[in-house]
Amino acid sequence: MTPPMQAGEAASADLARTAGTPTGSVLPPLRIGRHVIQSPVVLAPMAGITNRAFRRLCREYGNEGTALASTRGASGATSLYVSEMITTRALVERSPETMRLIEHDPDENPRSIQLYSVDPATARAAARILVQEDRADHIDLNFGCPVPKVTRKGGGSALPWKRELFRSIVGAVVEEGAKRDIPVTVKMRKGIDDEHLTFLDAGLAAEAEGVAAVALHGRTAAQSYSGTADWSAIRMLKETVTTIPVLGNGDIWSAEDALRMVRQTGCDGVVVGRGCLGRPWLFTDLAAAFAGTEARVTPTLGEVADTLRKHTAYLCDFYGEEERACRDIRKHIAWYLKGFPAGSTIRNSLALVDSMVSLERLLVTLDPDAPWPGEAAEGQRGRAGSPRTVALPDRWLESRELSEEHRRTIAEAELSVSGG
């Protein structure tokens, strides 16, 4: 097995080539309860992506950016890296896969876990496990998922429509977290669709229940990831929720996008999801940008290949088996190679790798000196999808209160959840 690069190796080389002069920190440190995050950047929870291996990779690059900023006189520290979504029922039942998903590296701090729930009692029980067993330093609550299998059960971005249910779940988890000073945050969308917006009500309710911060993806569930994120909604939330940090999410593809979001909305930090797919060095760029430097990473194809090797090696460690790690890395191939001169034959072959040996055999055929392709490698990555009618429980939109019928739907949804 080819050994992975030393942490931040590619980032270091490119930062040395592209570093600029610091102009002073753009934002003050982000405070999430007792945690102080010097670089106000959060890795968004992404199902099947933000496992321990990917978080480690992003963390190394983020640390490289803040280290560079520090040596140049600017402040800097690690960002916040959140786990992929964990269902509370699976956690309470201690599903083996879920228990592995909530594991963290020894040096991962704060240890951040996102929970998904549709039931206050189960949410409380899951939070109690994380708190009493010292498994997390920060808990995020998912009220933003737009996936039909989630929303048709009343979960994710559909749930804030039911105001009391939303408050009950948030309040239960905040109460459990407070027992050991573990802050809770909420991530949400604008609402179900343009006619059923919930973000202002939900933001105020979360603030009243004692959360440490709220994050808003500037799209509705109906938009999925299509169209353009509405940053004006983030500004409105910031103007409405005044005692805790408000974080912005949506269409951050570069450090410049993040700076622009802050300028336009006044948000206290940014949440980055699809923009870092196949591009974990974005966290180097973001840390440097928020520290006020113009440093940006522009890796060669050889450096990208080294990062891909490292990512796969980390997945081997995470899964404990090479074949599963290689199956996982396949979905990242197109993201890593976006814009680079790599023909369809090798791209297709890389998308079928089943061992580190086969991966290496293909990577060595790439031109290591091929330069960063610039605009061709920038911009959107990941599936955007298209607008759609949101799948919801029957008559969900008739009232903001939870009917007995919907209580049964929620109970059945919680019991039917399995896995992580």
CA–CA dist 11, 65 (Å, integer): 8
Q: Please say if the pLDDT value at position 2 is more than 50.
A: no
List residues bridging with 140 in a β-sheet: 114, 185
Residue with tokens 């197109």: 334
Dihedral Cα 6, 8, 10, 13, nearest 10 deg: -110
Q: What average pLDDT score do residues 197-224 get?
A: 98
Task: Please tell me the distance from the alpha carbon of residue 259 to that of residue 199, in angstroms, as a whole number.
Answer: 23
Instruction: Indicate whether 261 pLDDT > 60.
Output: yes
- For 16-25, 136-145, 255-264, 410-419, which range has the lowest pLDDT when averaged over its residues? 16-25
Q: Is the peptide bond before 368 cis (omega within 30 degrees of 0)?
A: no
Please say whether the beta carbons of 409 and 247 come within 8 A. no
pLDDT score, position 77:
43
Confidence of residue 282 (pLDDT cuts 50, 70, 90): very high
Residue 222 makes CB contacts below 8 A (sequence gap 6+) with: 146, 192, 193, 194, 387, 388, 389, 390
| CB-count exposure of residue 363 (10 Å: 0-12, 13-18, 19+) | buried
Per-residue pLDDT tens for 94-106? Answer: 999 999 999 999 9
The predicted-structure confidence for 307-347, as pLDDT tens digits, reads as follows 999 999 999 999 999 999 999 999 999 999 999 998 889 99
Q: The whole model's pTM is what?
A: 0.91
pLDDT confidence tier of residue 92, bands split at 50, 70 and 90: very high
Do 335 and 382 form a contact (C-beta atoms < 8 A)? yes
Per-residue pLDDT, averaged over 385-406, amounts to: 93
Backbone angles phi, psi at 162, to 5 degrees: -90, 95
- Model confidence at 185: pLDDT above 90: yes
pLDDT over 80 at 357, yes or no? yes
Active site residues: 145
Q: Is 47 exposed, middle or buried (0-12, 13-18, 19+ CB in 10 A)?
A: middle
Q: What is the pLDDT of residue 66?
A: 64
